[in-house]
Structure 1
């Protein structure tokens, strides 16, 4: 089995499985991967449609590695469990199906593989050590240069925020 690209995995016109993430420098388009992680994609869309990602900070941004956000507390310890969103079981796939490459979107978690809730990360560079250890739910297909401009730090002194996220099918 060979690695699939985002274009092979999902039709480019499948707006139900695309996110538009608005950052300070403009929009980023993410192709969702329900073929790899159906429960995680559904959760991302649920939280997006509820507006729960809007205004959340990128609280952990490591040069040459990734930008992490999706925590309403901005501390790296939060999620939306208190709003009825239970943790999601891992949906790991073998590296032969998908790998952590530049622009890959993965779900953050604690040491427990089944603890993903709302936090996610976007890779700045390949990270093979994450393969089959973290769930891949999407791939940036447009606007990665905007992700590259997110303020660095753990946490950044002045964190950038996810201004707005929406499912492309809902965008007006």
Structure 2
């Protein structure tokens, strides 16, 4: 009897060990009927932090929409401070998205609208981090030199992971991505979308009124026999 009990115990342990070592089955991969609610830790890179009005950039676009961007001073403190400084100076007000590529990104922040301009502040040292180029990520544009970011930034339409750790991501769109999707395409666009106002949410600036549709100047000039030049890509 003692030997029989020992044998049964050994068989039971072997069976348990085999169950622990097996791979996942189809049943294991099925989600439960109701997934547990989870909140993302605010300090983990790649996760959006809790919304802090002092670190939310608000872009009011000429299309009539408002875009809110949660900035990440924990990942790129100098770049976030630069954006806040320029926004509060009104630097971005009236600037255009001058380089907008379908399926890639919308770039703006250049007061000249050519892609070659910037602010009078010194260029920033790169703050490459682990934030990913997922849809809605916002990063600083730069020249070939890594430490050449100044005022220009871009918003990606879809994931572009090959850019990770090569450009400084400082935030991500948390609302109004539909207005980002509606930004006029082109290099440069013939009818570029403008930033009517850039502000920090903590300052509580109301959205400006969208400009009324312009008069059909082209039709008037056609009647007079005058033609307007069209913008050509670089």
1:156 aligned partner: 189
2:158 aligned partner: 125
**Using the alignment, how far apart are the partners of 2:184 and 2:64 within structure 1?**
12
The 3-state SS of whatever aligns with 1:58 is strand
Listed one character per residue, the Cα deviations across residues 74-95 of structure 1 (whole Å, up to 9, x for unaligned) are: 00000012xxx000000001xx
1:54 aligned partner: 93
Structure 1 gaps, min length 5: none
Task: Check if 1:5 corresponds to 2:47.
Answer: yes
**Using the alignment, how far apart are the partners of 2:143 and 2:46 within structure 1?**
28
Task: Check if 1:76 corresponds to 2:109.
Answer: no
Task: Check if 1:17 corresponds to 2:55.
Answer: yes
Structure 2 gaps, min length 5: 1-43, 206-234
Q: Give the C-alpha shift of residue 25 in structure 1.
A: 2.7
Q: Give the C-alpha shift of residue 11 in structure 1.
A: 1.8
Listed one character per residue, the Cα deviations across residues 13-58 of structure 1 (whole Å, up to 9, x for unaligned) are: x100001110123101100011110000000000000000000010
2:11 aligned partner: none
2:37 aligned partner: none
Q: Give the C-alpha shift of residue 129 in structure 1.
A: 1.0
Say how many residue pairs are matched. Answer: 161
- TM-score, length of structure 1 as denominator length: 0.91
2:222 aligned partner: none
Q: Give the C-alpha shift of residue 4 in structure 1.
A: 2.9
**Using the alignment, how far apart are the partners of 1:5 and 1:103 within structure 2?**
13
| Candidates 67, 81, 97, aligned match of 1:42 | 81
The structure having more radius of gyration, on CA atoms, is: 2
The 3-state SS of whatever aligns with 1:141 is strand
Instruction: From the two aligned structures, give the one with the greater helix fraction.
Output: 2
- TM-score, length of structure 2 as denominator length: 0.67
Show structure 1 runs of 4+ deviating over 2 A.
Answer: none
1:86 aligned partner: 122
Listed one character per residue, the Cα deviations across residues 94-118 of structure 1 (whole Å, up to 9, x for unaligned) are: xxx3100100000000000000000
Identify which of structures 1 and 2 has the higher relative contact order when contacts are C-alpha pairs closer than 8 Å and 6+ apart: 1
**Using the alignment, how far apart are the partners of 2:86 and 2:131 within structure 1?**
24
**Using the alignment, how far apart are the partners of 1:60 and 1:4 within structure 2?**
26
What's the Cα RMSD here?
A: 1.0
- Structure 1 residues 3 and 52: alpha-carbon distance in aligned structure 2, compared to 1, 3 A threshold: closer
**Using the alignment, how far apart are the partners of 2:45 and 2:70 within structure 1?**
16
